[in-house]
Copies of this chain bind each other. A is one copy, B any other.
C-alpha cells in the first residue's frame, strides 16, 4: 500500500486555519461560509437547507440565528470585550440586547472558568432566551466599573439548518459514511479538525482507484444536524451503509482513541482496530460505547443502529483545553491532522479490500505445479508466501473474512489480500455469495 497522496498534513492544517475563525453555530451564515471554504478542496460538496420549524423525528428545527456584533463597553465607549477578538465571547443563540447594566446585573450574564483563568469557556443557550458573554477569569476580574453597556446584534428568525453532502460513487451501491460536524465556533481539535480532515479524506477517496464502495460525506451541525440528516435519508442509510466514521477530534498529536459502535465487533470497529494496531502500530485508548458523545449517538441509536465508529486523536472531554478557547490552532499540528486522516483512511482501505472467500476445490489445491508452494526452508518451515497460501486455502470456507484471517494467523492483512488476489486469478478462491446483481451496482 504505497499510494501517493496529493496533499500533506500542512495542507490540512492550512484548511483548518482558514476554517477556524468562522463564527459557526447550529444554523446561520457561519455554516454556509464554512461550506464555501471546504468546497475549495471538494468542489462537489452540495449545501442543503432545511427550513426552520421542520419536524425531524422527535425534533423541530429551531429558527436560524446570526450574530453580527457583540461587545461589552465601558461607559466611555471603550469595548472591553468584543466578539471580533474571539467568537467564543458570545454564547451561541444569545438574544439581541443593547442596554446599560450594573456590574451585578452583568455578572449573571457572564461565564468564566475560575480554575482555568486564561480560558474562555464554550457556552450555548439554545433553549434559554437570554444573552451570555463568555470570557477568561482574568478578563472578568478587570470588569470593576459600576456599569457597562452591552450590545448583542443578533437575529433569531425563520431560516434554515444547513448541511453539506457529497456522494462519491464506487462500483457498488453499498456505502461508507463519513460524517463530521460544523456547529462549533473557534475551537481546534473539537471541531475544526474534523471539518478539515474530512475534506481531505473525501479528496483522497475521490483519488482512490477502482473504489468498491460508494461514499457519503456529510457535514452537519452536531446532534440536531445529524438527526435532521438521518430523518431525510433514513431509507438510503439503512439500505446502503456498511461502515461509517464520525470524524471528530482528529487534530492534535498527543493521543489515539477509538470509540466503537453500539453493537460490539462490527466491521468498522475491527478495521479501525487493525489500522491502529497493525498498520499504524500506535497505542490507543479503546473507549466503550458508554463513553460516546458525538453523532454516533444518532447513527448508532436503537432503530438506526449503523456500524459507525470514531477514530480520534485526543478524545472530546479527555484533554485539558476541551470546550474552551485554549483548544485553538496551537493544539493542532500538521502531524496530528495527518494522523487523524491516515488512520481512518487505512481503516477504509481495509474495508475496501476485505472480503470473505471460499475455496473452489475440495481438499488442498495442487499448489506446487502452480508455483504456490515453495520447498520447506531448512526442510522444516514454510516460507511466508507458502504459509499465506496455506492459510488462505485452509481456512476459506465462506465464514471468515480476510480481516479475521489476518487476526487469527498474524499474517499481514495486505499480504493476505495480495495472495488472495492471485488465488482468485487462478480460480482457487472465489468471494462467497452471489455476484452483485445489476441493481447492487452503480450505473
Contacts and interface: CB of A to CB of B under 8 A. Distances in A.
A225 to B, nearest CB: 11
A290 B408 contact: yes
Given A234-B362, A363-B304, A394 B262 contact: yes
A420 interface: no
A217 interface: no
A60 B366 contact: yes
Q: Interface size for chain A: under 10, 10 to 19, 20 to 34, or 35 or more residues?
A: 35 or more
Interface string A205-234: 000000000000000000100110011001
A123 to B, nearest CB: 7
B121 A301 contact: no
A75 to B, nearest CB: 31
Nearest to A59: B366
22 contacts: A57-B361, A58-B363, A58-B365, A58-B366, A58-B428, A59-B363, A123-B379, A126-B368, A227-B363, A227-B364, A231-B362, A262-B394, A292-B394, A297-B390, A300-B394, A301-B362, A301-B394, A302-B359, A302-B395, A302-B396, A303-B397, A317-B381
A409 interface: yes
A297 to B, nearest CB: 6
A302 B398 contact: yes
Interface string A296-311: 0110111111000000
B366 A324 contact: no
Nearest to A371: B127
A404 to B, nearest CB: 13
A323 B380 contact: yes
A379 B121 contact: yes
Given A121-B379, A317-B380, A380-B317, A364 B126 contact: no
A95 interface: no
Interface of A: 57-60, 113, 121-123, 126-127, 223, 226-227, 230-231, 234, 262, 289-290, 292, 297-298, 300-305, 317, 322-324, 358-359, 361-366, 368-369, 376, 378-381, 390-391, 393-398, 408-409, 428
Contacts of A381: 317
A394 B363 contact: no
A359 B394 contact: no
Nearest to A411: B290
A362 B55 CA distance: 12
Contact of A290 (B59, B324, B409): B409
Return the 6 tightest CB-CB contacts between A and B, nearest first. A302-B397, A58-B361, A58-B365, A323-B379, A59-B366, A227-B363
A10 to B, nearest CB: 31
Contacts of A122: 379
